[in-house]
Amino acid sequence: AEDTGVRVELAEEDDGKKSSIALRLWVEDQKKLKGKYKDSGAIEFTFDLETEVPETVAQEMVESGFFLEIDVKIVGKSIRDRVSLIKWRRQRIVSGHN
Amino acid sequence: SSAAQVVHSAGRRFIVSPVPESRLKDQ
Protein backbone atom coordinates (compact mmCIF):
# COMPACT_ATOMS: atom_id res chain seq x y z
CA ALA A 1 0.00 0.00 0.00
CA GLU A 2 1.03 3.59 -0.59
CA ASP A 3 2.80 5.35 2.26
CA THR A 4 0.22 7.90 3.30
CA GLY A 5 1.97 8.83 6.55
CA VAL A 6 -1.01 7.41 8.39
CA ARG A 7 -0.54 3.88 9.66
CA VAL A 8 -3.46 1.52 10.17
CA GLU A 9 -2.96 -1.88 11.75
CA LEU A 10 -5.05 -4.64 13.25
CA ALA A 11 -5.57 -4.09 16.96
CA GLU A 12 -6.54 -7.73 17.42
CA GLU A 13 -5.85 -10.99 15.70
CA ASP A 14 -8.03 -11.58 12.66
CA ASP A 15 -9.89 -14.85 13.11
CA GLY A 16 -11.15 -14.54 9.54
CA LYS A 17 -14.76 -14.91 10.60
CA LYS A 18 -16.20 -11.93 12.36
CA SER A 19 -17.09 -8.96 10.23
CA SER A 20 -16.36 -6.37 12.92
CA ILE A 21 -12.68 -5.99 13.65
CA ALA A 22 -10.57 -3.72 15.87
CA LEU A 23 -8.15 -1.43 14.07
CA ARG A 24 -5.55 1.00 15.36
CA LEU A 25 -4.57 4.15 13.48
CA TRP A 26 -1.77 6.60 14.12
CA VAL A 27 0.21 9.25 12.29
CA GLU A 28 3.63 7.99 11.33
CA ASP A 29 4.75 10.95 9.29
CA GLN A 30 2.87 14.17 9.90
CA LYS A 31 4.66 15.88 7.01
CA LYS A 32 2.38 13.92 4.68
CA LEU A 33 -0.70 15.55 6.15
CA LYS A 34 -1.84 18.90 4.85
CA GLY A 35 -3.37 20.16 8.06
CA LYS A 36 -1.60 20.66 11.33
CA TYR A 37 -1.98 17.47 13.27
CA LYS A 38 -2.47 17.45 17.01
CA ASP A 39 -0.52 14.45 18.24
CA SER A 40 -3.09 12.58 20.25
CA GLY A 41 -1.67 9.06 20.01
CA ALA A 42 -3.07 5.92 18.46
CA ILE A 43 -6.80 5.78 17.79
CA GLU A 44 -8.41 2.40 18.24
CA PHE A 45 -11.83 1.69 16.78
CA THR A 46 -13.95 -1.15 15.49
CA PHE A 47 -14.76 -1.44 11.83
CA ASP A 48 -17.35 -3.64 10.16
CA LEU A 49 -15.79 -5.12 7.03
CA GLU A 50 -19.15 -5.92 5.47
CA THR A 51 -21.23 -2.87 6.13
CA GLU A 52 -18.93 0.08 6.79
CA VAL A 53 -17.15 2.51 4.51
CA PRO A 54 -13.60 3.68 5.43
CA GLU A 55 -14.33 7.26 4.36
CA THR A 56 -17.23 7.45 6.86
CA VAL A 57 -14.91 6.54 9.73
CA ALA A 58 -12.40 9.13 8.50
CA GLN A 59 -15.18 11.72 8.56
CA GLU A 60 -16.08 10.74 12.12
CA MET A 61 -12.44 11.21 13.11
CA VAL A 62 -12.56 14.70 11.64
CA GLU A 63 -15.76 15.42 13.56
CA SER A 64 -14.12 14.16 16.74
CA GLY A 65 -11.25 16.58 16.22
CA PHE A 66 -8.47 14.09 15.47
CA PHE A 67 -7.87 15.40 11.96
CA LEU A 68 -8.74 18.40 9.86
CA GLU A 69 -11.24 18.17 7.00
CA ILE A 70 -8.40 18.74 4.52
CA ASP A 71 -6.91 15.36 5.46
CA VAL A 72 -10.11 13.32 5.43
CA LYS A 73 -9.19 11.71 2.08
CA ILE A 74 -5.74 10.59 3.19
CA VAL A 75 -7.13 9.12 6.42
CA GLY A 76 -9.94 7.39 4.50
CA LYS A 77 -7.48 5.98 1.97
CA SER A 78 -5.21 4.68 4.73
CA ILE A 79 -8.11 2.82 6.33
CA ARG A 80 -9.33 1.60 2.93
CA ASP A 81 -5.90 0.17 2.05
CA ARG A 82 -5.74 -1.79 5.31
CA VAL A 83 -9.33 -3.00 5.00
CA SER A 84 -8.62 -4.16 1.41
CA LEU A 85 -5.59 -6.08 2.63
CA ILE A 86 -7.59 -7.77 5.39
CA LYS A 87 -10.32 -8.74 2.89
CA TRP A 88 -7.72 -9.96 0.38
CA ARG A 89 -6.04 -12.13 3.03
CA ARG A 90 -9.41 -13.60 4.01
CA GLN A 91 -10.21 -14.36 0.39
CA ARG A 92 -6.88 -16.14 -0.02
CA ILE A 93 -7.51 -18.27 3.06
CA VAL A 94 -10.99 -19.18 1.81
CA SER A 95 -9.78 -20.07 -1.70
CA GLY A 96 -6.86 -22.01 -0.20
CA HIS A 97 -9.27 -24.16 1.73
CA ASN A 98 -11.43 -24.88 -1.31
CA SER B 1 -0.74 10.41 31.54
CA SER B 2 -0.63 7.09 29.70
CA ALA B 3 -4.28 6.30 30.38
CA ALA B 4 -6.44 5.67 27.37
CA GLN B 5 -8.95 8.33 26.47
CA VAL B 6 -12.33 7.41 25.03
CA VAL B 7 -14.04 9.61 22.47
CA HIS B 8 -17.51 8.89 21.15
CA SER B 9 -18.58 9.97 17.72
CA ALA B 10 -21.96 9.15 16.18
CA GLY B 11 -22.18 5.89 18.09
CA ARG B 12 -18.60 4.86 17.40
CA ARG B 13 -16.10 4.61 20.19
CA PHE B 14 -12.56 5.79 19.60
CA ILE B 15 -10.02 4.73 22.20
CA VAL B 16 -6.91 6.86 22.21
CA SER B 17 -3.69 5.56 23.69
CA PRO B 18 -0.03 6.52 23.35
CA VAL B 19 1.87 5.11 20.37
CA PRO B 20 4.90 3.07 21.45
CA GLU B 21 8.03 5.05 20.53
CA SER B 22 9.38 2.12 18.55
CA ARG B 23 6.46 2.49 16.13
CA LEU B 24 7.12 6.13 15.33
CA LYS B 25 9.01 7.11 12.23
CA ASP B 26 11.23 10.19 11.83
CA GLN B 27 10.80 11.26 15.43
A2/A41: higher pLDDT: A41
Please say if the pLDDT value at position B27 is more than 60: no
SS (H, E, C) chain A: CCCCCEEEEECCCCCCCCCEEEEEEEECCHHHCCCCCCCCCEEEEEEECCCCCHHHHHHHHHHCCCCCHHHHHHHHHHHHHHHHHHHHHHHHHHHHHC
Rounded to 5°, angle at Cα A89 from A61 and A57 = 10
Which percentage of chain A shows pLDDT scores above 70?
99
Mean pLDDT of A63-83: 95
Identify the pLDDT of residue A8. 96
Q: Scanning every residue of chain A, which has its alpha carbon at the shortest distance from the alpha carbon of B3? A: A41
Mean pLDDT of A12-39: 91
Identify the pLDDT of residue A15. 92
d(CA B24, CA A52): 28
Residue ranges of B 1-27 with Cβ closer than 8 A to chain A: 5, 7, 9-10, 12-19, 23-26
Q: Which of A12, A48, A60, A66 to mutate to test the interface with B (most CBs of B within 10 A)?
A: A60
Does the interface ipTM go beyond 0.95?
no
